[in-house]
Amino acid sequence: MNLKLIIMKNLKTLFLFPLFLLGILFTGCEKDSTVIDQNQQAAEYHVKTITVPDAMTQSSDPGAQMAVAYINMVNSMSSYATMMNPPDEISNKSLKSDEESFTWVVDDGTNSYTVLMKTWESDYKTVWEMYITGIMEGHSLDNFKYIEAIQLSDGSSSTFTVYDLDTGEMYMDFTWLLYEDNSLDATFTVFNESKIHMLINQDGSGSLEFSEWIMSAFWNTYKAQWDTTGHGQYWEYDDGVETNQGSW
């Protein structure tokens, strides 16, 4: 297994999260910003994260390291959840009977844009939509829908989608479903590139499959499963044929 090659291939996705998040956290709002009452804050979006068992994180086995890398890639989506929450001070706020709109400005010297975040609730779900107007990562955007999230009110299911700045099409998507036994079924997709599917049980055991977009279809190239302590085994595939397997 060429662990370095595969991880480097996916660094582009990994680096998107912290860099954009820093732009939100360390830039100020407009001078005419107003402090909003805590009771009027927008509904917060909460993304599921996966705890990596100790035996997996401590293992030097390439198969275990690969599983940890993929889980961390999925957990990076939590950075986007933070972006969905407006800062305590916002430049403008308008309320409607069933919808809230929040606007704030990001200006870090390189990127300069306005964020419009809309959120509304129904009897069974909450919806978030984030729009960008201005210059972001070299793109000139006008009311561009960058993020959309939908979460059921009981917290049992959610979808979180990030749109491509170049094409406007879906770029990344994180979908998860929480079963009655508290097991988590999660899928992280980078469209036309890769997909990670995980099933995490309540006791910490689980399984993971990584697929690559090849010839207009997703092909499974790696699979792993582990017990509650984090000890497990893995398999590698090429064109659907098993090429390697091991345990840690």
For residue 131, pLDDT over 90 is answered with: yes
DSSP 73-126: HHHTTHHHHHHTSPPSEESEEEE-SS-EEEEEEEE-SS-EEEEEEEEEE-SSEE
Task: Check: CB of residue 78 under 8 Å from CB of residue 149.
Answer: no
For residue 36, pLDDT over 90 is answered with: no
pLDDT at position 41: 58
Q: State both tokens at 191.
A: 């469209």
Question: What's the mean per-residue pLDDT of the chain?
Answer: 82
pLDDT at position 90: 62
**94: closest CA among 120, 76, 127, 56?**
120
Q: Which long-range contacts (CB under 8 A, 24 or more apart) does 210-215 make?
A: 210/66, 210/70
For residue 128, pLDDT over 70 is answered with: yes
Which residues, including other chains, have CB under 8 Å from residue 226's CB and lie 6 or more apart?
Answer: 53, 55, 56, 67, 205, 206, 207, 232, 233
Query: Which one-letter amino acid corresponds to residue 101?
Result: S
Higher model confidence: residue 58 or residue 20?
58
Q: For residue 171, how many other CB atoms are within 10 A of its CB?
A: 20
**68: closest CA among 58, 78, 80?**
58
Q: For residue 205, how many other CB atoms are within 10 A of its CB?
A: 18
pLDDT at position 201: 96
Residue range 137-147: average pLDDT?
A: 95
For residue 24, pLDDT over 50 is answered with: no
pLDDT at position 109: 87
Question: What are the pLDDT digits (tens) for 162-184?
Answer: 999 999 999 999 999 999 999 99
3-state secondary structure of 36: coil
What confidence category does residue 189 fall into, taking pLDDT thresholds of 50, 70 and 90?
A: very high
Higher model confidence: residue 22 or residue 89?
89
Question: What are the pLDDT digits (tens) for 65-82?
Answer: 999 999 999 998 888 777
Question: What are the pLDDT digits (tens) for 94-107?
Answer: 655 456 888 888 88
Residue boundaries of the structural domains of the chain: 3-25+46-239
pLDDT at position 212: 93
The one-character DSSP state at 168 is: -
**16: closest CA among 86, 83, 64, 88?**
83
**CA dist., res. 46 & res. 21, Å (int):** 15
For residue 203, pLDDT over 80 is answered with: yes
pLDDT at position 19: 44
What confidence category does residue 39 fall into, taking pLDDT thresholds of 50, 70 and 90?
A: very low
What pTM did the predictor assign? 0.80
